[in-house]
Amino acid sequence: MRWRIRTRTFVHVYSPDPDRYPVYAPYVADGDGPIVMTFRAPVEDLRALTGNGFPYFKADWGRNVVGAVLGEHTDWAEVAELVADSYCEMAPKFLVARVVPEIQDGFPRD
């Protein structure tokens, strides 16, 4: 599933075939392939996320594309924040201006 701004993807969630993409083989659980989310990250966050290793990795494409293996370990509040940040990386400035005041800790304000 892809979320886009016009034709540009800012989040992609998919289940890659570990036979076709051996890099994902270590993340296979109970015979099921992993579920992966790719997103855009600000450069300063890119190093922090990918430097710690699992569940994050630097994707082989794009200068600021990060991948995350999703599962029981996933912190969904962090995912919400990463999705919002990715949107802000890709969206036109006038749309970012509408989003940023609404986001606090990855969730809309009440």
The domain in which residue 17 lies consists of 2-108
pLDDT grade, residue 56 (50/70/90)? very high
pLDDT of residue 65: 94
- With contact defined as beta carbons under 8 Å apart, do 66 and 58 qualify? yes
Q: What's the structural domain count of the chain?
A: 1
User: Which residues are CB-neighbours of 66 under 8 A, at least 6 positions away?
Assistant: 38, 39, 40, 41, 46, 49, 50, 56, 57, 58, 59, 82
CATH number (domain holding residue 59): 3.90.1150
Q: What is the mean pLDDT of residues 52-70?
A: 90
Give the model's pLDDT for residue 31.
Answer: 66
Residue 110 DSSP symbol: -
Selection from 102, 90, 98 nearest residue 2 by Cα = 90
- pLDDT > 70? residue 51: yes
Q: What would the mean pLDDT of 84-91 be, rounded to a whole number?
A: 93
Whether 61 shows a pLDDT value over 90: the answer reads no
